[in-house]
Amino acid sequence: MIETLQDTFKDEVPVVTKISQRENRNPFLVLISTLLSLRTKDETTEKAMERLTKEAKTPEDILKIPIERLQELIYPVGFYRNKSITLKDVSHIIIGNYNGKVPDSIDELLKIKGIGRKTANLVITEGYGKPGICVDTHVHRISNRLGIVKTKHPHETEASLREVLPKKYWIIYNTLFVTFGKNICNPVSPRCSICPIAHLCRQIGVAKHR
């Protein structure tokens, strides 16, 4: 299944993965792009990061930018005013508590206000290349739809996947399922007629499909 999806989407990756590849796995920029991507389209996040990285690539750079200018750079990402404050706060903590270096463990990342489990896992996997399973709405929905897990909440899905998914697939799993969820396995009326793994899917919860 994983190999099939890799072949299908070999030229398509989510925005955070794209930024990670472009910025040589810079953990701070992976963190920033993940925070900006929440409730924001990939295209908007990518353009915001293109503007932002011309002026800031480190926590110190972020703190030097006036808040009004920071808001201009990241607009129109969702909740851009709140996110500009979060970027400042997170940068301040990274400098003050971690000598300017983004922590490389989920437990330490979760100690930073504004960083949730999804963000922490993306930083670990995309920023440091360490094993982790990032569970967003696509991963949670599709894993249950396929019948790989039977869970109600994303954190339960992560725990279940850690038990059943071979470790070699942990990093790639989110990347593939996000792309798969956007292009084929849509939330409502998934495109089962063109799905490369339809023969493996139990279609749990699917009332209508194309």
Task: Write out pLDDT tens, residues 56-67.
Answer: 999 999 999 999
Cα torsion through 157, 158, 161, 162, rounded to 10: -150
If asked whether residues 111 and 19 sit together in one domain, one would say yes
If asked whether residues 92 and 175 sit together in one domain, one would say no
Cα torsion through 36, 115, 13, 132, rounded to 10: 170
Task: Report DSSP state, residue 58.
Answer: S
| Mean pLDDT, residues 156-164 | 97
Our measurement of the distance from residue 119's CA atom to the centroid of its chain's CA atoms, rounded to an integer in Å, reads: 6
If asked whether residues 181 and 151 sit together in one domain, one would say yes
Does residue 193 lie within any of the structural domains? yes
Does residue 116 lie within any of the structural domains? yes
| Mean pLDDT, residues 184-195 | 96
If asked whether residues 28 and 68 sit together in one domain, one would say yes
Does residue 182 lie within any of the structural domains? yes
| CA-wise closest residue to 77 among 105, 46, 121, 119 | 46
Burial class (CB in 10 A: 0-12, 13-18, 19+), 101: exposed
pLDDT over 90 (residue 11): no
Model pLDDT, residue 45: 97
**Domain count along the chain:** 2
pLDDT over 90 (residue 76): yes
| Mean pLDDT, residues 32-39 | 96
CATH number at residue 161: 1.10.1670.10
Sign of CA dihedral 30, 32, 37, 42: negative
If asked whether residues 101 and 28 sit together in one domain, one would say yes
Model pLDDT, residue 166: 96
If asked whether residues 104 and 155 sit together in one domain, one would say no
Question: What six digits make up the tokens of 182?
Answer: 């956007």
Q: Domain range for residue 161?
A: 134-200
If asked whether residues 42 and 113 sit together in one domain, one would say yes
Model pLDDT, residue 57: 97
What percentage of the chain exceeds 90 in pLDDT?
98
Q: Is 93 helix (H, G, I), strand (E, B) or coil?
A: helix
Q: How far apart are CA 185 and CA 196, in angstroms?
A: 10
* Residue 20: C-alpha distances to residues 127, 139, 154, 192 (Å): 7, 20, 23, 31
| Mean pLDDT, residues 36-59 | 97
pLDDT over 90 (residue 10): no
Does residue 4 lie within any of the structural domains? no
If asked whether residues 41 and 75 sit together in one domain, one would say yes
If asked whether residues 124 and 94 sit together in one domain, one would say yes
| Mean pLDDT, residues 108-123 | 96
pLDDT over 90 (residue 133): yes
Model pLDDT, residue 7: 94
Are the C-beta atoms of 78 and 41 separated by less than 8 Å?
A: no
